[in-house]
Amino acid sequence: MKNLLKGAVLVVGLFAATSVANAQQKIGHINADEIFQQTTEFKTATDQLKALSETKQKEIEGMVTELQKKEKEANDLMLNQSEANKAETQTKLQTIGQEYQQMQSRIQEVQKVAQEEVGKRQQELMAPIQTKVMNAINAVAKEQGYAYIFDIGSGAAVYYAGGEDVSAAVKTKLGIK
């Protein structure tokens, strides 16, 4: 019985010590995505991606214009078709139809390649920025003695009540005003 009582006291003592230790841990929160979007590098990367997307879009629009010309050419041939030129017109229409299908396939391929290129470029541009922001968050957490920092912007924290917002310190670390 004495051993059981000693064991219970020991468990209660350990629980109380753990609770006190946990209560002393510093917890903070941040919206990392908001900070990420406020970096000058993000703005530069966004401008570069926009320019690349616009270039690719113009290229595709030029191809679509050519496709529309083929369609108009086919329509004009059909309107001007007569019994006298029926065989010749059908041959031309068949050729235009094949060219039209090839152009459609080419446009789809160019769209696919453009999307992949923009996505790859986005990853290349954004990854270093994400690393920089995460390094700044880690540095601030270590410098200011935080045990946990929850990213409330991404939904990583299911619940948080209070805590300190360390966004200002991270922005200062990154040189954001």
Note the pTM of the prediction, 2 decimals: 0.69
Distance CA 54, CA 50 (A): 6
pLDDT of residue 4: 46
pLDDT of residue 155: 65
Residue with tokens 């108009």, as numbered in its chain:
72
The low-confidence residues of the chain, meaning pLDDT below 50, are 1, 4-18, 20-21, 157-161
Distance CA 72, CA 66 (A): 10
pLDDT of residue 141: 86
pLDDT of residue 101: 95
What is the phi/psi pair of residue 79, to 5°? -65, -35
pLDDT of residue 82: 83
Residue with tokens 């991270």, as numbered in its chain:
170
Superfamily of domain 2-174: Skp domain (3.30.910.20)
Enumerate the domain spans of the chain.
2-174
Sequence-distant (≥ 6) Cβ neighbours of residue 48 within 8 angstroms: 121, 125
pLDDT of residue 25: 77
Distance CA 79, CA 12 (A): 95
